Every structure is written in C-alpha cells, then in structure tokens.
Amino acid sequence: MRPEILFPLFAETETLPGVGKRIAAGIEKVAGSRILDLLWHMPVDIIDRRAGPDLIDITFDQIVTLEVTVGGHDPAPAKSKKPYRVWCHDDTGTICLVFFHPRKDYILTQLPEGEKRLISGKVEVYSGQLQMSHPDYILPPEKRNEIPSVEPVYPLTAGVSGKVMARIINEATKKAPNLPEWLDPALIKRERWPDWISSINKAHHPESKDDTYSNSPARLRLAYDELLANQLALEIMRRQTKKKKGRAMEGTHILTDKFLANLPYQLTGAQKNAISEIGKDMAGPSAMMRLLQGDVGSGKTVVALYSMLIAIENNAQAAIIAPTEILARQHFASLTDMTKGLGVNIAILTGRDKGKARQKILEDLVSGKTDILVGTHALIQKDVIYHDLAMAVIDEQHRFGVEQRMALSAKGAKGIGMDILAMTATPIPRTLTLTVYGDMDVSRLYEKPPGRTPIDTRVMALNRLEEVITATRRAIENGARIYWVCPLVEESEVLDLAAAEERFRHLEQIFGHRVGLIHGKMKVKEKDEVMNRFIAGNIDILVATTVIEVGVDVPEATVMIIEHAERFGLSQLHQLRGRVGRGGAKSTCLLLYGTLGATAKSRLNIMRQTEDGFIIAEEDLKLRGAGEVLGTRQSGLPKFRVACLEDHHKLIPMARDDARLVLEKDPELSGVRGKNLRILLYLFERDEGVKYLKSG
C-alpha cells in the first residue's frame, strides 16, 4: 500500500486551483496527469525581471521591469495591419509599447494617459528607438509584488502558456509534503545537499540560471534520490533471484577439459575469469543470472559453450536463443564445429522448421537425445518441451524483454530457478550496465583472442568514390571479400533500402554478378541464400543495410566500407567494423562521409583512434545520450524523471553501493531509515521493489 503521506502527490492536476479539463489535458501531454508529475517537470531556464534601468541607459535588447508615465495612444487605423502604439516616458527618455490586434477598450483601461504604470517584458532597440511588444505585465506601481523578480521557464505544449505553467507548478509545490529523510546524514553533509522539500522548492523557484542546471545542489539531490530508488529496487530483485533455489551443478571436467584441449588457441585472461565466475554461480545453491558483456570478437561463444557443457556434464540440457535466424544458424554451425569429437548432440529450431522435420526435433528434445537446442523465439513456444533444461544462454540480451526471459525459465524443472547467461556484443558503459542490468551479475571480456589483427580504419570524403571503387577492384583481385554498408536515412527503412538498391545497381554495372544485396525487407530464405553465396566466395561485394550489424561471421571478409558514416552512432559503427578482422588477414574499414558537423567529426576521430568497444561506448554516451547508445526502442532503459544519465552518471555507482550497504544491514527495510526508503521507492514508483519485501 502506498504510504498516506504521499496521497496528495498522486492526486490529479485538476484538483489544483485554476486547472480545468482543457488545461489538464495540455499539461498531461508535456508532464503528466498528477501533481507528482508536475514536481518532476523541471524548469530549463529563467526570466530575470530584476533589472530596472532608466530608459536612457538601455542600449541593447534585454528583459526589464520599468516604472513609466503613460503618454499618448496611437491606435492603428481600421482594417490596417499596423500595430496599436502607446508612448510612455520616464525622466530620461521614451519607449513605445506595441500591440498587434488588441481590443482598444482593454488598452485604454490598462494604460490610462498620464498615469504611472509598471511594465515588464523584453525591450528591443529598433532604429534607435526603444520598444516593447506586448508587455508580460502591466500593473499600477503599488502592485509591484505581483511581478516575480525571477520566473522559471518550463518546457511547454500548445494551449498552456509559460505564465500559466509556472503558476500551476507553484501551486503543485505547495502540496509537496515534508517527507522524512532517507539519505545517510554523512552523505548529505559531504555533498552539501538540501533536504527533499527544500530541493523541490529550490528547483522550482530558481534565483539564477545556475539553479536550473543539472549540477545544482537541489537537482543533484533529487537525481540521487531517483537513482537510489532505481538501484534499491534492482538490488532487492537481485537478492530475490539469489534466494530462488537453483540446481547446484559442479563441472566434472570430462567434456570441458576435452573442449579446451581441442581449441586451436589459448583462452584469454578475461575468458578464464568469466568461466571461473560462471562455474562458481552454477555450482552454487541459487539460480545464476549473469550478463556476459564482450566486444565484437572477444570470444563470448566459447565461454557460453563451456557453461552449457557444465550442464551437459550434469546430465541436463542447455539452450541458446538468438534474435535472428541468421544468428541462430551461425551459432549452430560454430557450436557443431567446436564440439566435434565430444559426443554432444546439437539441434536447431527456428520458425522455418515445419511438419515432420519439426516433429523429429521436438521428439529428440523431450526424450533427452538433444543436449543443446539452438534457435530463435521458436524455443519458447508452448509445444516445445524439454527433457531437462537447466541452463539457457540469451544472445543479444537487449533484443529480448523480461517476458521472454521468464518464458525461457519456465521451461526448466518446476520450482527450481534456471541458470541464465545473457550475452551482449554491444559494449555498454558501466553506468548504463548498473542502471539497466543491475539485477544481474556482470562478467566482461576486455581482450580479443590471439591471432586477431588490428583493423586499419580510414576516414575519407564521399566525393572520392571513384578512388574507392579503384581500390575495391584491386582488393578483389587479391582475393578480398567486401561489405559495403549503405547509409542510415532518417530512420526510414524505405529510404535505407532505396539507397542500398541504388548502390547495388551502380556496383553491379562495374563488377557484374559478383555483387550481392541484403536488407531487412527480404524473406529469411532469400537473405540466407545471398549470405551463403558470400560465405562460399561466389560473391565478392555484399551491399547491405545495417542488417549485418550483429553476429554475422565471415572470417574471409577483410574490407568494410560504410557510406555516410557520419549518420551512424559510434556503437553502431563499431559493431559494423567488427564484421571484419575476424580471420588472420589484414583488414581495413573505410568510413566515407558526406558533410561533417562537429559531433560527427569527433565520432569518426574516435573510430580511428581506438578499437576498444568499452571506450567507444563511454564516448558515445557523452556524444549521444543513453537512449541512443542502447537504441531507445529496445533499450529496456528505465524512465527517469529527474536524473539524466549523461549528467548524473557519477551518482550511479554511489547509489548502487548505498543500496547494497542498506540491504546488508536491513534486508527487510524495517529500521528507521529502511521505512523512509520504502517511502522513496513509492515516491519514484519503484513499487515492485517493495512488493518483493515482506510487509514491515
């Protein structure tokens, strides 16, 4: 149950004075429908009305509050487009007030000739004359206190003016209760942060522009509150997962030692470390929930297979689920190759398998004949029944939601949590890993396996295309296979496709039938056909949209050409570049640009300087923001109201450590600070955290 002290904040905005249905609908579009939403709707700027110079001293456009005497009215002629002018003065000069389409009686009432008035608004200097169009305030001098000296400026929507928004949010702040302190007093003292209610008031009543910045003490405090709520909820969920009874699976080393001995290379230090962490998890009494982060070509599949072999050594089954059929088939091929001579039965199941062939796969699975099942979403369909599934690997974790993870877990033994290893080849900055995958333990593969050669990355203007084509011809004569990626066109698949088709036709005229085309609109069978021809070497140049970004593995491909590279994000460029340099031969990545802005230039420079995906991801976060780095639509990124991951990322590890420490001391949040932290969880609507706790 939500604590009673928070009830006023969850009331509708219509309960505030002066908010009717129309204004409430406008506010909902930009902020939300509750008083709480208004508190999280932060100002982005201020209007400072404190300047009140003599007219003679105004030499540039500025916002001022002036006391003037009203002089003559100069109404616009009937049906004229000219404005209505009112001339005012002080002892030092004159100013013209300008009104377009006003009601004459209104102007005469507001500005009676010969009377003194306070006017506040933006003064402009126009042909040597001072003028103010439609003043924000016109009041008699005795009502000076009705003009705010500093006004917050909020993000707006049609139908709600700045003045109205500021007035309504001011009313909302009056409803904010004085909540008990949930932060550690030592932290507040060290950071010099105000308490919660003071932070809300300071954020919405800024005295200077500095108070609207994300690094102001009030905003930092509120951001930390939100990040702490997030980390606390994730940590509670992580602990619940750990409590789930798992199956303790000690490796016998019968299969794993043989597998490692068969590998043509030594494992990297990072791979050994990850295998050791996973081994400990699987041998433990609770279910494993681990994320394996590894850059393109860092050897995640080897680690995943090792983990699956531990399950098979325990007479259980394993499964690996991939987001696309191309990727699933690739996993099937590489796992089959790596388990030669081990006596491990591997099968593949995708949406393409129908009829008797599918029936045979399902029979082998339920009988226990199949040790590892590889596939797409088909693995979690109702009629897919396993003999004894104990371990699941989820590849490209960010493409799957929590629902799929749960559906896969449900395929295991009843009442026992399944070991899950989630993998991602998208390097994610540490701060985002904590925010998105905070309920998982994380292993990272930093090194590349031996034998991988560095990729020579070059940046070149698109107008040198003829030189690129000449170099392409030379590369093909020397046996190279080439990816040619066409631009991302404003998030439009239709335009992406048009660009790819146009380049394909152009290259086909030069190189004939040795050019292939692959894109997202093709049927799976057509895609596989083209891909297989490229793998077999029947095609030299594969023109593609970004469908080849993830997982495609052709060790013979040594050249990657990316057109309009300035339109891609850093992480995406890095993923694409990772399609080459997978064999022993020297590889090249050519980034062709059209027009270069400052951000795009920085991006391409970073690509030239480093191949480290984690460095690239951190830089991408600075340049583009969190949603972009993860791909907003599929990111699973929690929705933050006050915290901004780009500005507040340094607070995340602090919040994570704080959350862990609190739950170590008070696992049920039943102490004084614990009870206050429950209020925090409800305040930021991380109720799922509280539900996992026993009531207290």
Which helix (H) or strand (E) covers residue 129, if one does?
Answer: strand 129-133
Q: For residue 441, list its beta bridge partners.
A: 290
The full set of domains in the chain, from first to last, is 4-46+155-212 (no CATH), 50-147 (2.40.50.140), 254-445 (3.40.50.300), 455-610 (3.40.50.300)
For residue 18, the tally of other CB atoms under 10 A from its CB is 9
Residues 393 and 321 sit within 8 Å (Cβ to Cβ): yes
Which helix (H) or strand (E) covers residue 648, if one does?
Answer: helix 645-648
Residues of the chain with pLDDT under 70: 296, 397-406, 426-427, 429-432, 434-439, 449-451, 488-498, 547-552, 622-638, 688-689, 692-696
Terminal alpha carbon distance of the chain: 11
Residue 381's φ and ψ, nearest 5 degrees, are -70, 155
**How much is the pLDDT for 317?**
93
Number of helices followed by number of strands (H, E) in the chain = 25, 21
129-133 vs 346-349, strand pairing mode: unpaired
Q: For residue 456, list its beta bridge partners.
A: 588
Residues 338 and 264 sit within 8 Å (Cβ to Cβ): no
For residue 140, the tally of other CB atoms under 10 A from its CB is 12
**How much is the pLDDT for 496?**
55
**Length of the chain as a residue count:** 696
Residues 376 and 386 sit within 8 Å (Cβ to Cβ): no
389-394 vs 441-445, strand pairing mode: unpaired
Rounded CA-CA distance 549/148 in Å is 54
**How much is the pLDDT for 336?**
94
For 281-335, the pLDDT digits (tens) are: 999 888 888 889 887 678 889 999 999 999 999 999 999 998 888 788 889 988 9
DSSP letters, 465-500, are: HHHHHHHHHHHHHTT-EEEEEPPP-TT-HHHHHHHH
**How much is the pLDDT for 196?**
96
Tell me the CA distances in angstroms from 207 to 23, 50, 220, one per residue in order: 27, 11, 17
Q: Write the secondary structure of 53-117 as one string of H (helix), E (strand) and C (coil).
A: CCHHHCCCCEEEEEEEEEEEEECCCCCCCCCEEEEEECCCCEEEEEECCCCHHHHHHHCCCCCEE
Tell me the CA distances in angstroms from 655 to 39, 185, 287, 489, one per residue in order: 22, 14, 25, 39
- Please list the helix, strand and coil fractions of the chain in percent, rounded to the nearest 5, in that order: 45, 20, 35
For 448-494, the pLDDT digits (tens) are: 766 677 889 999 888 898 999 999 999 888 888 899 988 765 445 55
**How much is the pLDDT for 633?**
37
Which helix (H) or strand (E) covers residue 557, if one does?
Answer: strand 557-562
